[in-house]
Structure formats: structure tokens, C-alpha cells
Structure 1
């Protein structure tokens, strides 16, 4: 229970605070002397075009120069050519790296309207998980999952919850402003970063009026470009039912999410269940993470909400079991 105790100390001391993770950006590419190719002159406009392609794509000057030469100076076609080449290289690297362990990575939590998604993308090292390009991949996976959920035409009388495994996730469209599938985006990221990566899983929850989804990400940092996407190593969604719209629902939902992350329950249980100790697996019977003198059920009951379900993701969990099998 050392993880649970350390989480409890952290959360009690810093309830409501989130430490912003630093984004490690790649060091700038070395400068290259530009030589005029057969189709690209060394004029100022050509250099400006080269710089623009470099800014748009993030690829090296050498590759951008080759793309413009190949495409006769057409910026749009050069971008397409670069992505295709990177994807080919990514597929090649993916085949070579397949089987290497991917225990690190990030959990991404995205909320839009009545829909919330939780995704997990894995890589080999924590260093790469802090890379901007890897975080952008997690963002694409979260957006692709959100688009899939919003496309489901279900009439909600109660909440709905679903899961996507690795192969289902890989086949989803990549989302706005991206061609191909999430699997294609994965290949591009592998080609750029040179590590094995996997799209591990996703969960989604949709709720009608009268329900609320509380959420929490441990070690949270904001997405580099999407304000409502949060990244971290642990994530939880807690589905609550409430008869009235309370002003403090967000705070209650965050506290419930903290409890799920820290205490790792296996089921919700009932308010009628007997209180248990730290080994208890029923959520409502567990000692409340932020005040172990009461159970979570005793914390929730006066709040006017009922806990009906939850989802918990821990980055890298299950990898050791999978290796054993």
C-alpha cells in the first residue's frame, strides 16, 4: 500500500492543486548550407518557402529542401510528400521495434459537453513521454476517440460507458485536420521519435441530464494546444447521479476521482456495506482517501450525489501480467 499512502499524503497536502509538467521541446536542428537543387533556386523567396515548410512540419532542413525539390516548389505537395515519407519510415521503424517493452507513456483525459474520454498511449521511456510530439499523438488519440463517441446516435435515458482496445483504437479516423487513421499517426510519431509506441486503450462515458462525470488526473499537465485535455500518469472518471444542479459538483467529482486513483477500488458497492480497511475493494466502504476517519460513503451521502460507476486508468498497468502470459 506504499503507493496509496504516498498518494494520500500528496493529495491531503495539495488538494485541488496540479503541478504543471514541463514540456521538453526538441533542440533546434543544426543549420545547413542550402544549395540550389535542379528545381529550386537559391532566391530569397525559395529560402522563405523552405523556412515556412520547416515551421509547418518540424522536419529537418535537409528533408524540407528535398521535398521542395521533388515537388517543384509546391508547398502543399511538399508537406504531403514529407508526411508520406515519414509514414513509410515510421512503418519500417515500427516493424523493427515491435516487441520492445512500452511501460511508460501518458493518460489523456478530454471532456466536451456530456462526453468524457480517457485514453492511454505508451512508449518505451519517460523521456519520450515528455516530448511535445508524443503529447500531440496522445491529443490526436483523444480527439479521435471523442469524435467516435459523438458519432454514436444513442438516446440516453441513463449513462452509457464503453471501451476500445488497441486494434479498435488504431482503426479510428485521426480526427480534424489529419489524414488516415490513428494507426497512421502512430507510425508518424514512431518515425520521428524512434521508440516503440502503442495505442493501448480508451474508455468513454456519455451522460444525460441528472448525471455528472467527475474526473481527476494525477501529476496533471495541460495539453500543449488543447485547453480541455489533461495529461498525466493516472486518470479516473466517476459517474454520479444527482437530483439537483449543485454549484460544487466539480469539486466533489475531483475528490471522488482522487479517491479512485489512490485507493484503486474494484466495484462501487453500497451505502449499506460495512466499513472496511485499506484492503477493502468496494469503493463506498473504503476509508475516504482525504479523511480516513470516515468511509467514502459517509463523505458522499450528505453531498446529495450517488456514485453509480467509475473508470480508472494507470499508465503501464497490466504490462507485467501480459509479459508473464
Structure 2
């Protein structure tokens, strides 16, 4: 129900406007009868409600999609306030713009970026996503792209981690990654990449990924160096940085299960810092700083002993590892 109209205080500008617009002009000082009726006031209030509703839709669409107010307003006007159609149209236009920019920027060097590490139970994923500048690497939208790449890789291998009798690892290159989806009903990573390029205006590449899974008697140690502070609530269960390592270990019955996470982190730190090329064996002679066999290298956190001498009393066997360094030039190994 519309609120009853009451005249403004005498002499006010509003009253003069009301006398002219509602009652009509006064002639000879005589007050004329109203020339309009209550529905005009009702329409005024209805218009306010419609305006508020339109503004609320605009704010919601802007918050949900991240596109500019101007583009969101255009989309809502185009589809008469239908937010679902407006959102679909916005994504379509952004996709077109993103692919166009991606085509123009193709070929520009992408040496910066981030390593993303995602671990879920007995499986872990490590991805590298590149961009042109470190400034963009610190942008939330770029970091969300890294998470999407990690989630897509994990989802792709979801069923393969069950009923394992030994560890497994698989490497994926850019062409294969681009065809992955971010989830059961998710978008292609190639489309997400184009959207990020369109929004941030830099060339980018989802370069590579490694997926590792182990059975119950094994575990995966992990470490990310140069990790960014976790101040973005949209990034969940992923660690971002410039270097990353996954270390596959087998624990004996005598090993302290409560210490495995800390031990795995130290092994990951060693792999990142010492960059071994192979695991080697406990029988290898101790090497110096140029040694490339992991177990024969001086332990990063205590160079007076080798890594093999550090892990042997722990009741742990190091079986394999994966090391990523952002921007490095390297051939991705074949899947094992």
C-alpha cells in the first residue's frame, strides 16, 4: 500500500512545486482542485523500488562475475534484468575478448609465474603456470588460475589413486593440460587461461603438471619455497611459490608416524635447495656440493652428514621425487 501524501511545510520549495505540478497554476489567488490523483504518488514509490531492485541486481552480478559495473549494466539492460542470461552473455563476451588478446600476445616470453602444490590424502599435484611479470603473478586472478590448473589435474586423475600397490607419478604437458576441466561441471583450462589473459593483459601459459599417488604404507613429503602468505580466502588447500618439491617415501613399522609430515617437509627442502638429479642409494659414497645423487648429497640442514645418513635412522626409504622451479628451461619427462 502506498503511503498517504502530506503537503510540505508552508513556503517550502517542495510546496511551491506541489502547488504548480499537482494542483495546477493558481489564478486570482483561488486554490484549484487537484488535477492528478493518488496513483501518481504510488508510481513514484514503485519507481523507487524498481530502481533499488535494479541496483541490487547490478551489485550482485558485479560481485559474482568480477566484470565492470558498465559491462554488468549493459548485460542486464540487454536481457531486461534476467541475471542468468546476463551472466552467460558476459562470460561469452569475456571469452571472445580473452581469446583475441591471447592470440595477439602469443609469443611473448613468460618466465615469471608460480608453482602450485595441492595435496589430498595419498595424492598430490604440482603445477607450473607462467606469466610475463612478477606483478601479475601476485594478482589474485592469476593465482586462481594456478588453483584451477591444480584442481583440474587432480580431478583428471581422481579414480587412478585407488587400490595402488606401489607409488605412481604422471607428468602432463601444456597441450594435454589445456583440455582438462576444473571439475565435474567445470570449464576447460584453455578457456580459463584465455579469460585470465583477457583480464590481466599479459601472455600466460599453463606449462606443466605432475601428479603423484601412493598406497597406504607410503607417504608424500612436500615443500614450496617462496610461499605467498595465505591471505586470499578464495584459494583453498593450495600452496603457491617459486619452487616446489614432492618426495615419495616408504615408512617402516619402526618409523614414527607423527614425525612423517615434518620429515617430509625437510626432505622437500633438501630437494629444492640441492636440486638432485636422481635418488641414488645408501651404498653411494658421500659426495660434495656438486653431487647429483640425492642420498649421497650433504644434507641441506646439516652438511656434516649425507641425506642418506639422515634418513636411515628414521626408518624411512626415499623412493623418488619431483622438483619444479618456476621459469626453468627443461624437458618434461615421459610419464612413468
Bucket of the pairwise TM-score, normalised by the shorter protein: 0.7 to 0.9
Select 1:73's aligned residue among 81, 84, 91: 81
Select 2:63's aligned residue among 55, 58, 73: 55
Between 1 and 2, higher relative CO (CA 8 Å, sep ≥ 6) is seen in: 1
Select 2:287's aligned residue among 268, 276, 280: 276
Q: Distance in 1 between matches of 2:219 and 2:132?
A: 35
Select 2:170's aligned residue among 134, 142, 162: 162
User: What residue is the counterpart of 2:212 in the other structure?
Assistant: 205
Pairing 1:1-325 to 2, within 5 Å after superposition? 43-152=51-160, 155-175=163-183, 178=186, 180-221=187-228, 222=230, 224-244=233-253, 246-318=257-329
State TM-score, norm by structure 2.
0.80
Unaligned runs of 5+ in 1: 1-40
> Is the 8 Å Cα contact of residues 135 and 224 (structure 1) preserved in structure 2?
no
> Is the 8 Å Cα contact of residues 104 and 123 (structure 1) preserved in structure 2?
yes
Which whole-Å deviations, capped at 9, do the CAs of 1:65-115 have from their partners, x for residues lacking one?
111112221111111111111110000000000000000000000011111
Which whole-Å deviations, capped at 9, do the CAs of 1:120-164 have from their partners, x for residues lacking one?
100000000000000011111111011011133764110010000
Q: Distance in 1 between matches of 2:159 and 2:234?
A: 23
Q: Distance in 2 between matches of 1:63 and 1:160?
A: 47
State TM-score, norm by structure 1.
0.83
Residue 181 of structure 1: CA displacement? Answer: 0.6
Q: Which runs of 4+ in 1 moved over 3 A?
A: none
> Is the 8 Å Cα contact of residues 247 and 267 (structure 2) preserved in structure 1?
yes
Q: Distance in 2 between matches of 1:89 and 1:112?
A: 35
> Is the 8 Å Cα contact of residues 136 and 224 (structure 1) preserved in structure 2?
no
> Is the 8 Å Cα contact of residues 155 and 182 (structure 2) preserved in structure 1?
no
Give 3-state SS (helix, strand or coil) of 1:269's partner. Answer: coil
Which stretch of the first structure deviates more once superposed, 279-288 or 66-75? 66-75
Residue 214 of structure 1: CA displacement? Answer: 0.1
Which stretch of the first structure deviates more once superposed, 149-158 or 201-210? 149-158
CA RMSD of aligned residues (A): 1.8
> Is the 8 Å Cα contact of residues 144 and 182 (structure 1) preserved in structure 2?
yes
Which whole-Å deviations, capped at 9, do the CAs of 1:196-247 have from their partners, x for residues lacking one?
0000000010100110100000011336424321000000000000123611
Residue 177 of structure 1: CA displacement? Answer: 5.9
